[in-house]
Amino acid sequence: FLLSLQLENKTRGRLQKQICQVVLDHFDKQYTKELGDTWTSVRDVLTCPLCWQYAVLVNKFSQSAELENTLRVRGYQPAFQGRLPYLPASLKCYTGRTPGRFPAQKHQAGKLKEYYLLNAASLLPVLALEVKDGEDVLDLCAAPGGKSVALLQCAYPGKFHCNEYDDLRSRWLKQTIESFIPDPLINLIMVTGLDGREIGNLKPELYDKVLVDAPCSNDRSWLFSSDTQQASHRLTQRKELSSLQFQLLRSAVKALRPGGSLVYSTCTFSKAENSDVINLIVDTCSNVTPEDISEMAKAVSQEFTFLSGMQQHELLVLPEKGRAWGPMYVAKLKKI
């Protein structure tokens, strides 16, 4: 108990971060316009890290009955209890109603971790992708690796290609995979550092499923930029992100086999990086059609709050107190 208390105090100390006023002012201006009255309640959660919640994704390759008992004793419940169109029994995730973070496990060479801490909403792109055994899968922007690990909890792909262009993040991705995936399976995973915009040309029509968890203006972390100059630079660069995201998506479409599905996700509320990018792809790629994910959204509506007025092929998770998940935008497309 004492150790648990120390860990919680340590976490609490870490969460007393400073809000970056430059970023908050920018968000207030943009999101009041885009989200309307909803922004007020979302803003309250985003600016209060002590309200944030963390889910625990159990690693099926290092399963421990003791871990699941501990989680239940601490008030965690299995997530995704609705009737989802796709929910493999091997994907086990626990969420707690109260804020706070379960203690993290350190990376130890040669030893698999038992669980991965994450924002529960980041599993929605994985569930939307519906990967089945034997399918060839590309995770185009894979670092830090949480969604790659979650995909492997769901199914055993034929080929699994994890790509991350940024060198530092690529090393982080490799370490995550080493921490969660056992040797026989790890040999089937190809990790590359290619420019995601080129993969479609390099590997045309090679994959059944593609995940594009795109580089975006990460609203949660940007709010706590410690360096005002860096924050201002990020906000200037923000205008260029939608162009990069569009190019990554176009590359992903080329890499997909006809009949294959693509899921696009970000952790921002920004319409320019979400719906606008998807609409542009649908308008300019005649071989792409939106795929309905409203059944999945309906099945998890008890656990997540969604922005209303979205189209059937997309959703946007809004954080609120007691369900502080998101932001997470998810859209699904099919290649015809």
Tell the residue number behind the tokens 């792809």, with chain if given: 281
* Token code pair at residue 108: 């130890």
Looking only at the bridges linking them, the beta strands covering 328-335 and 288-290 are: antiparallel
Tell whether 143 is in a known binding site. yes
CATH of the domain at 327: 3.40.50.150
Return d(Cα 336, Cα 322) in angstroms, integer. 41
Q: Is residue 274 part of a domain?
A: yes
- Inter-residue contact 143 to 169 (CB < 8 Å): yes
What is the value of pTM for the model shown?
0.94
The pLDDT score that the predictor gives to residue 107 is: 86
What is the number of H-type helices and E-type strands within the chain? 13, 12
Work out how many domains the chain is built from and give that number: 1
Q: Is residue 3 part of a domain?
A: no
Tell whether 49 is in a known binding site. no
Tell whether 120 is in a known binding site. no
Which range of residues forms the domain containing residue 185? Answer: 19-335
Q: Is residue 4 part of a domain?
A: no
Return d(Cα 66, Cα 63) in angstroms, integer. 9
Tell whether 145 is in a known binding site. yes
Tell whether 147 is in a known binding site. yes
Q: Is 285 a catalytic residue?
A: no
Return d(Cα 156, Cα 61) in angstroms, integer. 12
Q: Is residue 187 part of a domain?
A: yes
Q: Is residue 1 part of a domain?
A: no
- Inter-residue contact 90 to 149 (CB < 8 Å): no
Q: How high is the mean pLDDT in each 10-residue block of the chain (336 residues)?
A: 43 63 96 97 96 96 91 95 94 92 89 96 98 98 98 97 96 95 92 98 98 97 89 92 98 98 98 98 98 98 96 98 96 98
Q: Is residue 13 part of a domain?
A: no
Q: Is residue 5 part of a domain?
A: no
Return d(Cα 226, Cα 142) in angstroms, integer. 25
CA separation (Å) from 4 to 49, 64, 101, 222? 19, 19, 11, 29
Q: Is residue 135 part of a domain?
A: yes
Q: Which of 48, 162, 267, 285 is catalytic?
A: 267
Region label for 232, one of left (φ > 0), alpha (ψ between -120 and 50) or beta (otherwise): alpha
